[in-house]
């Protein structure tokens, strides 16, 4: 169960609600209700409520909202998987609970029901540039209005019901019991008004959902990478001297110290002392620690926005405050830094992999072969370098670009949407690089078998990474 109160949502909780199907519950509607009451009393022009949007900001329009939803419900490209769409609903619900939007608070329990009963909007990949996920949230709003169909994944215990003729949404009404199994839940509905439209879609919830999922998964993977490094340290008898506490205290970066301390504990025996090991070992704590710091900073930045009332206009006090809190620059910059840091730590993994191929360090035949001249695990270097090349591509910064749209009124974009999407895509190549190192280190610690296909070895090493319970102190 994830309690949503507009203040304490974490990346881990977003992931659990999205992929673990944890139910959500609402703590209080008080802040949302207060903003809604204020919104009903506003006079004068209010952006999106009594005016057009973008370049139409100075045009007075009566009840512009429903047209706004219909015009902005335009996505393109592959469908977004239901778990990520569910994460978006959780994020937007939590943001609305923080207050400041002026939306009718009665819609919030309906959103919670959608999450809890497996309903997600049919959103697509492309359509946002880091100044609000307008297309995804407008699509969601039209699902609430019944103008677009929800995607439905029944929760455990529910039975999917065939929709009645002419009703793509299925039966409206409470779930009933049939043979001890609950039938499909009713499709979520809420009659959003014109005044609810912009407040509902003025958010980067889909981008933040992707960013939260990426930060959570990458944090776990970076923790598991320390276990992999410990295997390689042991396999080549690398010196633990660079990990000493006195060394870390002389340069007190938090991530570096945490990585060094964890690795010291994993080695568990006195390592050989060499004057200089290759950087993949000697500088591991420094480079990997920087990646740990980067994911911590990114997660903290994302979690600030998960719990922020980043509404435009912001309904606070007795006024509507027009502002730029929707802009995603902090998140985009943090994710750019994170992806760059992942490349650094992956590069050191490939460097350790190269050392594992070297008989001068392992005392075995080249490439950990079972006999002279055999290829052993040489091919793992090809796989790792291919994956590393993909990771380098994904690390290209998005924050060096911009966009000017809406007749020049919207003259900058953060592209955090693309930064989050790329961060999610970084998982696979980083896993593969680390799996190659793990497979080689495991082989170096055992008697190498005769040459054989290594696909199963690599997949086993990858599974070991994703099921690892390793964690770094935070």
| pLDDT tens profile 41-55 | 888 888 878 787 888
- In angstroms and rounded to an integer, the radius of gyration of the C-alpha atoms of the chain is 26
Handedness of CA 355, 357, 358, 359 (dihedral sign): positive
pLDDT of 171 reads: 32
Q: Looking at the structure, tell me whether residues 153 and 241 fall in a common domain.
A: no
Q: Looking at the structure, tell me whether residues 262 and 348 fall in a common domain.
A: yes
367 by DSSP, 3-state: which?
helix
pLDDT of 275 reads: 84
By the 8 A CB rule, do 451 and 375 touch?
A: yes
Q: Looking at the structure, tell me whether residues 149 and 211 fall in a common domain.
A: no
Q: Which DSSP letter does residue 410 get? A: B
Q: How many C-beta neighbours within 10 Å does residue 46 have? A: 18
Q: Looking at the structure, tell me whether residues 320 and 459 fall in a common domain.
A: yes
DSSP β-ladder status, 2-4 and 24-26? parallel
Q: Looking at the structure, tell me whether residues 434 and 460 fall in a common domain.
A: yes
CATH, residue 298: 1.20.200.10
In this structure, the dihedral spanned by the alpha carbons of residues 298, 304, 306 and 311, taken in order and rounded to 10 degrees, is: -130
Q: Looking at the structure, tell me whether residues 261 and 306 fall in a common domain.
A: yes
For residue 332, report the phi and psi dihedrals to the nearest 5 degrees.
Answer: -60, -45
Name the stretches of the chain with pLDDT < 70.
Answer: 157, 159-184, 269-272, 468-474
For residue 183, report the phi and psi dihedrals to the nearest 5 degrees.
Answer: -75, 175
Helical segments of 117-183, H only: 134-145
Q: Give 2's strand partners.
A: 24
By the 8 A CB rule, do 288 and 264 touch?
A: no
Give the pair of three-digit tokens for residue 14. 């977003």
Q: Looking at the structure, tell me whether residues 145 and 223 fall in a common domain.
A: no
Q: Looking at the structure, tell me whether residues 378 and 240 fall in a common domain.
A: yes
* Alpha carbons 277 and 358: distance in angstroms, whole number: 13
By the 8 A CB rule, do 91 and 120 touch?
A: no
Please give the tally of structural domains in the chain: 2
Intra-chain end-to-end CA distance of the chain, in Å: 23
pLDDT of 271 reads: 64
Q: Looking at the structure, tell me whether residues 37 and 147 fall in a common domain.
A: yes
Q: Looking at the structure, tell me whether residues 459 and 358 fall in a common domain.
A: yes
* Alpha carbons 463 and 369: distance in angstroms, whole number: 24
Residue 311's domain comprises 207-466
User: pLDDT digit string (tens) for 213-222?
Assistant: 999 999 999 9
Q: Looking at the structure, tell me whether residues 251 and 386 fall in a common domain.
A: yes
pLDDT of 384 reads: 98
148 by DSSP, 3-state: which?
coil
In degrees, rounded to 5, the angle at the alpha carbon of residue 240 between the alpha carbons of residues 234 and 243 is 130
């Amino acid at each position: 169960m994830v309690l949503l109160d507009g203040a304490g949502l974490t990346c881990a909780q977003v992931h659990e609600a999205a992929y673990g199907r944890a139910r959500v519950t609402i703590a209080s509607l008080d802040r949302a209700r207060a903003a809604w009451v204020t919104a009903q009393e506003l006079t004068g022009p209010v952006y999106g409520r009594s005016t057009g949007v973008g370049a139409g900001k100075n045009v007075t329009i009566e009840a512009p909202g429903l047209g706004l939803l219909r015009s902005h419900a335009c996505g393109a490209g592959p469908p977004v998987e239901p778990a990520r769409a569910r994460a978006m609903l959780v994020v937007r619900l939590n943001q609305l609970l923080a207050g400041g939007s002026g939306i009718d608070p009665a819609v919030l329990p309906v959103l919670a029901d959608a999450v809890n009963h497996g309903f997600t909007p049919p959103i697509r990949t492309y359509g946002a540039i880091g100044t609000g996920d307008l297309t995804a949230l407008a699509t969601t709003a039209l699902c609430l209005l019944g103008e677009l169909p929800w995607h439905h994944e029944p929760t455990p215990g529910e039975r999917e019901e065939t929709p009645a003729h002419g009703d793509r949404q299925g039966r409206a009404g409470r779930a009933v019991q049939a043979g001890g199994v609950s039938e499909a839940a009713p499709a979520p509905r809420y009659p959003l008004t014109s005044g609810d439209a912009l407040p509902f879609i003025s958010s980067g919830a889909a981008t933040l959902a992707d960013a939260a999922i990426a930060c959570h998964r990458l944090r776990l993977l970076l923790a598991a990478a320390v276990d992999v490094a410990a295997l390689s340290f042991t396999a080549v008898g690398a010196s633990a001297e660079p990990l000493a506490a006195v060394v870390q205290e002389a340069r007190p970066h938090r991530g570096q110290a945490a990585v060094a301390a964890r690795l010291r504990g994993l080695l568990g025996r006195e390592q050989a002392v060499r004057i200089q090991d290759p950087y993949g070992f000697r500088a591991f704590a420094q480079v990997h620690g920087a990646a740990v710091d980067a994911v911590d900073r990114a997660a903290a930045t994302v979690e600030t926005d998960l719990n922020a009332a980043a509404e435009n206009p912001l309904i606070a006090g007795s006024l509507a405050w027009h502002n730029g809190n929707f802009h995603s620059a902090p998140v985009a910059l943090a994710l750019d830094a994170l992806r760059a840091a992942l490349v650094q730590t992956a590069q050191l993994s490939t460097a350790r992999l190269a050392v594992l191929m070297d008989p001068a360090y392992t005392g075995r035949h080249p490439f950990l072969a079972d006999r002279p001249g055999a290829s052993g695990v040489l091919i793992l270097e090809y796989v790792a370098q291919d994956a590393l090349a993909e990771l380098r591509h994904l690390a290209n910064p998005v924050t060096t670009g911009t966009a000017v749209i809406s007749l020049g009124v919207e003259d900058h974009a953060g592209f955090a949407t693309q930064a989050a999407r790329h961060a999610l895509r970084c998982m696979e190549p980083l896993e593969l690089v680390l799996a190659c190192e793990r497979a080689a280190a495991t082989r170096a610690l055992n008697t190498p078998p005769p040459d054989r296909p290594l696909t199963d070895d690599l997949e086993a090493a990858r599974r070991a990474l994703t099921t690892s319970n390793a964690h770094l102190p935070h």
